[in-house]
Structure 1
Amino acid sequence: MLSNKQVIGYLFLLPLIIGVLVFSLYPIGEAFRISLYHHNGVRGVWAGLGNYAFILSDSSFWKALRNTIIMGVMGLGIGLPLSFIVASLINSIVRPGMSVLFKAIYFLPNVTSTIAASIVFLLLFYPTEKGVANTVLNLFGLKPLGWMSDPSYAKISVILMDTWHGVGYSVLIWLAGLQSISRDLYEAAEVDGARKLQQWLYITIPGMKPVIFFMVVMGTINAFKRFGEVYVIGGPDGNPGGSLFTLMLYVYRYGFYTYDFGKAAAASYVIFIIILLFTLLNFKAFKNKD
């Protein structure tokens, strides 16, 4: 039998439990059920694993997966090192007021919506000579580029926008990790004659291993969830030339253009499995062998 205190505790937890069941677990189960049907949102016809077979044989899905992975690798390769360098520089500031100021400056873009940031960058990267970016190139005698209209430059343009938009959040996470490393380790290393580079390699990097793991995992998940910016810039087809067509646009196309919610739900579960596999690979790569 439960005591009165335990009953009261469960009563306080009851709203949260109901919220998780209604808004998390039920949608997950319902989405899996719908993925087994040819479903238009109102009624469905049993399809079994037919939706999954269609998705895995659909060239558009593999194109979306390729674009998503390429943009994800580019985003992680640019955003994480850049934000770590910025965080290290802010962490080295002695005056507390100045460090708070720089934190606020770098975090400021993060509070803007993805839609607003995408529209601003569309204006900056306007594909003619009237765009700000091409105006700067003209000052140096360089030809204008089709930042958002040329498939060769569209991905990097979106990644630059994402880096600007999300670098502040990453900086705060890196800073929290850097400040958790005991200063005694650095002082002991200095006494032993270790140089700054050696301290960075043998103290900072190992000490930041859990934070690096978190940043890589969250960056991977966010890369597979990329939607808002590519939709605003490239539309539902991920233009130019389908270079911005991501997995989320693939799901959106079937869910809200053809109203084939069965295929959209199946695609969502396939994406979930892919994210799970990448997460397990990250766990294995960062596993502590000591």
Structure 2
Amino acid sequence: MIINKNMLVNKHTVGYLFLLPLILGVVTFSLYPIGEAFRISLYHHNGVRGVWAGFSNYEFIWSDKTFWRALKNTIIMGVMGLGIGLPASFIIASMINGITARRLSVLFKAIYFLPNVTSTVAASIVFLLLLYPTEKGIANTFLSWFGVAPLGWLADPRYAQFSVILMDTWHGLGYSVLIWLAGLQGISRDLYEAASVDGAKRLQQWFYITIPSMKPVIFFMVVMGTINAFKRFGEVFVIGGPDGNPGGSLFTLMLYVYRYGFYTYEFGKAAAASYVIFIIILIFTLFNFKAFQNKD
């Protein structure tokens, strides 16, 4: 069969035409905003017009104590979120993966994923009612049965960050469980059978087969968890407002960007802060990549 060059050209042209809407979408909604944000970060900009400022916006952020406080809160909450959410979801996924009855396994998957379909705002409002800081709150009412005094879950800076992480863990648990399950089900059963023949117990198999085999998934979950930690906005805004109350303990980097972008209309500072956050996320991602790199 003789293939005409014009036929190949037409075939490739049709392929590029199919890709054209996707390429236009990426350029319009991703690449252009990224470039425009960097341009605005070099101006004193009010959203309509700007005056050239060079890197003064970045210098302001570097010397702004509020930015460093927001960074500190973001990192603390991020570490708590990863430290609580990832092990909890991994253990639950391992337990579901061990269930032999398929219908029962599907039921547990649905139960754990159910909170994930609710919006962040709705979940935050539910937890505002659940963790109401007086004895009328559901959580404090439950604790009072055991003689524990009411706690200011979302009204006391000592407990507010943990309370938000508790809510965020509950809200995103289902997604994490499904990702862990996908990785667990990709591990060959032959490894477990060989370990059983050698006398390895279930817990030993979990430590020496399951966890090492899940290394790529762990890397993915840590990276995505880090990115989501630095993007934390909805729950802290609903619960703590634009100032991240109580006492600024919930004031995160995204609230910092929001304050300058939509409260004082200093879009240059907001754009500069966004790029600083991008660089911080990139550094953490490279650090995670180096930490999880296979040295064998």
Q: Under TM normalisation by the shorter chain, which class is it? A: over 0.9
Matched, 1:268 2:283: no
Matched, 1:129 2:102: no
- Alignment partner, residue 188 of structure 1: 194
**Matched residues in 2 for 1:203 and 1:137: separation?**
40
Matched, 1:220 2:242: no
Q: CA deviation at 1:196?
A: 1.8
Alignment counterpart, residue 249 of structure 1, candidates 231, 252, 255:
255
Matched, 1:8 2:7: no
Matched, 1:65 2:71: yes
Structure 1 length as normaliser, TM-score?
Answer: 0.99
Q: CA deviation at 1:174?
A: 0.4
The percentage of counterpart residues that share the same residue type is 83
Alignment counterpart, residue 60 of structure 2, candidates 39, 42, 54:
54
Q: CA deviation at 1:214?
A: 0.3
Q: CA deviation at 1:198?
A: 2.0
**Matched residues in 2 for 1:152 and 1:20: separation?**
43
**Matched residues in 1 for 2:144 and 2:207: separation?**
42
Q: CA deviation at 1:197?
A: 2.3
1:8-87 → structure 2 map (5 Å cutoff):
8-87=14-93
Amino acid at match of 1:242: G
Alignment counterpart, residue 232 of structure 1, candidates 235, 238, 258:
238
**Matched residues in 2 for 1:181 and 1:193: separation?**
19
- Alignment partner, residue 259 of structure 1: 265
Amino acid at match of 1:196: R
**Matched residues in 2 for 1:289 and 1:275: separation?**
24
SS of 2:99's equivalent in the other structure is coil
Amino acid at match of 1:51: N
**Matched residues in 2 for 1:79 and 1:30: separation?**
35
Moved over 6 A (4+): none
**Matched residues in 2 for 1:195 and 1:124: separation?**
41
**Matched residues in 2 for 1:96 and 1:128: separation?**
44
Q: CA deviation at 1:249?
A: 0.1
Q: CA deviation at 1:201?
A: 1.8
Alpha-carbon deviations, 1:9-40, whole Å to 9, x = none? 00110011011111100000000000000000
**Matched residues in 2 for 1:201 and 1:145: separation?**
38
Q: Give the root-mean-square deviation of aligned CA atoms.
A: 0.8
Q: CA deviation at 1:65?
A: 0.2
- Alignment partner, residue 107 of structure 1: 113
**Matched residues in 1 for 2:24 and 2:109: separation?**
38
**Matched residues in 1 for 2:126 and 2:205: separation?**
41
Amino acid at match of 1:256: F
SS of 2:174's equivalent in the other structure is helix
- Alignment partner, residue 99 of structure 2: 93
Amino acid at match of 1:264: A
Alpha-carbon deviations, 1:70-126, whole Å to 9, x = none? 000000000000001100110011100000000000000000000000000000010
Matched, 1:160 2:174: no
Alpha-carbon deviations, 1:122-179, whole Å to 9, x = none? 0001011100011011110110000010000000000000011000000000000000
Q: CA deviation at 1:192?
A: 1.3
What 5-or-longer segments of structure 1 have no aligned partner? none
